[in-house]
Chains A and B, each alone.
Chain A
Amino acid sequence: MAEYLLILVSTVLINNVLLSKFLGLCPFMGVSNKLDTAMSMGLATTFVLTLAPVAAWLLEHWILQPFQIEFLRILAFILVIAAVVQFTEMAIRKNSPVLYQVLGIFLPLITTNCAVLGVALLAIQEDLGFMQSAVYGFGSAAGFTLVMVIFAGLRERLAVMEVPPAFAGTPIAFITAGLLSMAFIGFSGLKFS
């Protein structure tokens, strides 16, 4: 149990997928203008990001390793991730039209989110078990959502602030992102004994 907790804390705070690994930066800058869109993007990504390392683990241990074709990892993972996202979209559309409306275009776009492939590959690289992979994925997704929400909140406030004209708009957002990243680097000082 402690081990899972450790993975969770590590992926959410210390090795945050956005601010420490710098994966998935396109949605980070792209859909963080409004708090609610950032939230729904985070939710959609959470769903896929939890499933992807699990699917990747199954693929790696049941197909790629027995046949010694680990060199096809990226190709196979992208294939499976795309299928999982498609399937998720169909399932959500059928079962919860409201959620489908909220997530909208973000859902299919997750296929091309590098964080999804990145987390799947990292989970394999760190030689995690099946459940550990799932927790790893969920933790990364929770960290992603957390940062998205924080950053969207900051940007919503920035929108009504008096920013010097030279920095108005995207530049100040980049500066904010940098400061936020520095703040998260502070978490790397966390020690577990």
Chain B
Amino acid sequence: MVLQTEVVFAAIFCLGILGTTLGFALGYAAKFFKVEQNPLVEQVIVLMPGSNCGQCGYPGCNPAAEAIVNREVAPTCCPPGGKVLAQEIAELLNISLDLSQVEEAQPRLAQVDENNCIGCARCLKKCPTDAIIGALKQVHAVIQDACTGCEACIEICPTECLQMHPVQVTLKTWHWDKPALPLAA
């Protein structure tokens, strides 16, 4: 079949209209069917980092925000958010807070202590990004570029040779310090 110009234009036109209409319809439906949430939860969600890293133990930032508002966990539960986030949330929810426990978040990656690694290969299976290389009875190593710092491998290590270390400053990872701002009051 030879495609005629009209058919091509008709196709573009029809699918364009169809997509736009459906898009608008869904957009309006989303407004129309909006489910009222606790407004405090929504405010906290805006403050959260939103990367859904799961380090707080909740499946994502939204459930964590809900838990914080329900006072199930302290606002300090978010490592990426650090002190500033904890303070902001505490102020919003009007709760007192012990900030001395919170260490300033700083990117940390897993590293294998070669002297203690027994080559049990348990950590290999745990790593979600396949950043750990090695085989049975071979000393393992962590590929720093592939490690996301999720800490999934730390617990499984029987000899505690997997530890989180601050990222080494090299020519590749060095960057300007952020401007020193006073903590949001």
The CA of A97 and the CA of B33, in the complex, are separated in Å by 12
The CA of A108 and the CA of B80, in the complex, are separated in Å by 30
CB of B14 closer than 8 Å to a CB of A? yes
Known: A67-B11, A69-B11, A83-B26. A94 touches B33 (CB 8 A): yes
Segment with Cβ contacts to B, from A24-32, A71-79, A145-153, A169-177: A71-79
Q: Evaluate contact between A69 and B22: CB separation under 8 angstroms.
A: no
> Which residues from B are CB-within-8-Å of A69?
7, 10-11, 14
Q: Evaluate contact between A76 and B15: CB separation under 8 angstroms.
A: yes
Q: Evaluate contact between B22 and A79: CB separation under 8 angstroms.
A: yes
The CA of A79 and the CA of B20, in the complex, are separated in Å by 11
Known: A90-B33, A94-B33. A63 touches B7 (CB 8 A): no
Q: Using an 8 Å CB-CB cutoff, how does the interface string of B51-79 with A read, 1 for contact, 0 for none?
A: 00000000000000000000000000000
Interface positions of A from 77 to 94, Cβ below 8 Å from B? 79-80, 83, 86-87, 90-91, 93-94
Chain B interface size, as a band, is 10 to 19
CB of B93 closer than 8 Å to a CB of A? no
CB of B29 closer than 8 Å to a CB of A? yes
Q: Evaluate contact between B11 and A87: CB separation under 8 angstroms.
A: no
Q: Evaluate contact between A90 and B7: CB separation under 8 angstroms.
A: no
The CA of A18 and the CA of B11, in the complex, are separated in Å by 33
Q: Evaluate contact between A80 and B11: CB separation under 8 angstroms.
A: no
The CA of A94 and the CA of B14, in the complex, are separated in Å by 31
> Which residues from A are CB-within-8-Å of B14?
63-64, 67, 69, 72, 76
Of B10, B11, B29, the contact of A90 (CB 8 Å cutoff): B29
Q: How far is the CB of B155 from chain A (nearest CB, A)?
A: 27
CB of B19 closer than 8 Å to a CB of A? yes
Q: Using an 8 Å CB-CB cutoff, how does the interface string of A90-114 with B read, 1 for contact, 0 for none?
A: 1101100100000000000000000
> Which residues from B are CB-within-8-Å of A68?
7, 10
Interface positions of B from 15 to 52, Cβ below 8 Å from A? 15, 18-19, 22, 25-26, 29-30, 33-35
Q: Evaluate contact between A90 and B22: CB separation under 8 angstroms.
A: no
Known: A69-B10, A83-B26. A91 touches B15 (CB 8 A): no
The CA of A91 and the CA of B25, in the complex, are separated in Å by 13
Q: Evaluate contact between A80 and B10: CB separation under 8 angstroms.
A: no
The CA of A63 and the CA of B7, in the complex, are separated in Å by 12
Known: A68-B10, A90-B29, A93-B33. A83 touches B22 (CB 8 A): yes
Of B7, B25, B33, the contact of A83 (CB 8 Å cutoff): B25
> Which residues from B are CB-within-8-Å of A79?
15, 18-19, 22
Q: List 15 A-B contacts (CB under 8 A).
A: A59-B18, A63-B14, A63-B18, A67-B14, A69-B10, A69-B14, A79-B15, A79-B19, A83-B22, A83-B26, A86-B26, A86-B29, A87-B25, A91-B29, A94-B34
B residues whose Cβ falls under 8 Å from a Cβ of A: 7, 10-11, 13-15, 18-19, 22, 25-26, 29-30, 33-35
Additional A-B contact list (16), CB under 8 Å, known A67-B11, A91-B29: A67-B13, A67-B14, A68-B7, A72-B14, A76-B14, A79-B15, A79-B18, A80-B18, A80-B22, A83-B25, A86-B26, A87-B26, A90-B26, A90-B33, A93-B35, A94-B34
